[in-house]
């Protein structure tokens, strides 16, 4: 093996090539063909030159001769001693990696670097794709191949997510990275997050997140929500649900059930806690109609009496205060209020006009309802007192 037998640059080449580039390509080609486990071979790349590519735009492409010196394992397409003439460099290596081995026979063709290189898509069928899915341990299988006007579509079946499809050409290039069920998995995760928000905030009696009701519009992902109170099916983004507890029902979008939005923001440290706060069971008069109400009010000063604070807060609407609890923080007071409101949802007073700010905390005023609310309030007050004593 001498420079005379295997010159780096073709002495008869018409185009000028750079020696430094040729040396680099020579090393890459020889290394790539030696390390290809299908038919590893020792070769020499030499006679580098340029020739027209033959495409629509005639541009010179680097090429070289490849001499086959020895096969290390199985025999390849050409015998030892054969010289492949004027082979394009870009058809062997690109960016230092092997893209095509001219020594490989059709029987030896298989996956290389995670990319399948079938000879033609005409021979790709369900059986071929099934084998790829099994070899790569994918969690889905081919169901059908559809012929399109310009491309083929492969429909896959997943035991958990059902059916989905992908462009056959794109999937076959990289089956391990192109996941046909990616959006379905994302949709399932969004549904899960929305349902957790409803459950964590005890809104399951108000709203239901519809399974599979995810759709995309103008780049925005929305989930389908059913308002149980008004029988309306609408949609909301996961961000509006998680951050603002907005479910987009036109009839109750302004309602803050159980004051949950303020409580939600306090738990997330998105608003300032007002400190010492009173929660009370009261009788109010709204537009001449009497109604029970659970309400809270910031004490502003620990020296103020609870009744005086509530009278200032509710003014002429306040008829009577049945009982009250003073909490150390607004968060504590709102959490206690939520417990009471959730327990008495079934007796909400819907006759309170919409313009009254605390309408969702109002409860129908009857002797039976009053006794029930007073009993719940008394039990909660005792539990809170015991918990405070135990913490000291």
pTM of the model: 0.48
Ranges 299-303, 331-335, 356-360, most confident: 331-335
Is pLDDT of 198 > 80? Answer: yes
Enter the tokens of residue 229. Answer: 């109170």
Q: Of the candidates 383, 377, 245, 386, which has an alpha carbon nearest to the alpha carbon of residue 324?
A: 377
Enter the tokens of residue 227. Answer: 């308002």
- Confidence at residue 280, expressed as pLDDT on a 0 to 100 scale: 92
Average pLDDT, the chain: 84
Which residue's structure tokens are 């997943």?
Answer: 158
Q: How far apart are CA 27 and CA 34, in angstroms?
A: 11
Ranges 39-43, 59-63, 199-203, 387-391, most confident: 39-43
Q: How far apart are CA 223 and CA 238, in angstroms?
A: 7
- Confidence at residue 139, expressed as pLDDT on a 0 to 100 scale: 92
Give the pLDDT mean for 341-356.
86
- Confidence at residue 150, expressed as pLDDT on a 0 to 100 scale: 79
- Confidence at residue 113, expressed as pLDDT on a 0 to 100 scale: 45
Give the pLDDT mean for 182-195.
90
In the chain, pLDDT over 90 holds for what percent of residues? 32
Q: Where are the domains of the chain?
A: 19-108, 121-180, 183-253, 273-391
User: What's the pLDDT tens digit per position in 284-314?
Assistant: 999 889 999 998 888 765 667 888 888 888 8
Question: Which H or E run contains 141?
Answer: strand 141-147
- Confidence at residue 373, expressed as pLDDT on a 0 to 100 scale: 94
Is pLDDT of 242 > 70? Answer: yes
Q: How confident is the model at residue 16 (pLDDT cuts 50, 70, 90)?
A: confident
Q: At what angle do helices 330-343 and 260-267 cross, to 10 degrees?
A: 140
Is pLDDT of 258 > 60? Answer: no
């Amino acid at each position: 093996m001498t420079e005379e037998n295997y010159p780096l640059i073709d002495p008869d080449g018409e185009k000028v090539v750079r020696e430094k580039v040729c040396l680099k390509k020579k090393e890459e080609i020889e290394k790539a063909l030696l390390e290809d486990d299908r038919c590893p071979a020792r070769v020499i790349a030499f006679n580098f030159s340029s020739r027209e590519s033959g495409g629509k735009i005639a541009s010179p492409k680097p090429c070289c001769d490849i001499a086959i010196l020895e096969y290390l394992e199985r025999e390849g397409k050409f015998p030892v001693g054969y010289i492949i003439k004027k082979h394009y460099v870009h058809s062997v290596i690109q960016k230092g990696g092997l893209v095509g081995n001219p020594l490989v026979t059709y029987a030896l063709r298989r996956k290389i670097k995670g990319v399948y290189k079938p000879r033609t898509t005409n021979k790709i069928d369900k059986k071929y794709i099934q084998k790829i899915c099994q070899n790569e341990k994918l969690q889905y299988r081919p169901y059908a191949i559809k012929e399109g006007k310009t491309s083929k579509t492969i429909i896959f079946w997943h035991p958990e997510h059902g059916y989905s499809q992908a462009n056959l050409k794109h999937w076959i290039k990289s089956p391990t990275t192109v996941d046909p069920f990616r959006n379905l998995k994302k949709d399932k995760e969004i549904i899960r997050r929305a349902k957790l928000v409803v459950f964590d905030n005890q809104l399951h009696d108000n709203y239901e997140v519809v399974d599979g009701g995810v759709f995309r519009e103008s780049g925005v992902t929305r989930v389908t929500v059913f308002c149980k109170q008004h029988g309306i099916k609408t949609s909301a983004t996961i961000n509006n649900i998680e951050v603002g507890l907005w479910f987009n029902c036109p009839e109750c979008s302004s309602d803050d059930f159980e004051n949950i939005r303020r409580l939600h923001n306090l738990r997330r440290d998105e608003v300032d806690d007002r400190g010492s706060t009173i929660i009370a069971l009261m009788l109010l008069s709204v537009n001449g109609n009497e109604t029970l109400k659970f309400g809270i009010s910031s004490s502003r000063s620990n020296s103020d009496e609870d009744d005086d604070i509530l009278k200032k807060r509710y003014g002429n609407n306040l008829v009577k205060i049945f009982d009250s609890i003073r909490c150390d923080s607004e968060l504590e007071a709102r959490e206690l209020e939520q417990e009471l409101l959730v327990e008495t949802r079934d007796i909400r007073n819907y006759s309170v006009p919409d313009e009254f700010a605390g309408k969702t905390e109002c409860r129908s005023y009857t002797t039976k309802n009053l006794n029930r609310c007073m009993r719940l309030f008394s039990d909660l007050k005792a539990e809170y007192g015991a918990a405070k004593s135990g913490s000291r």
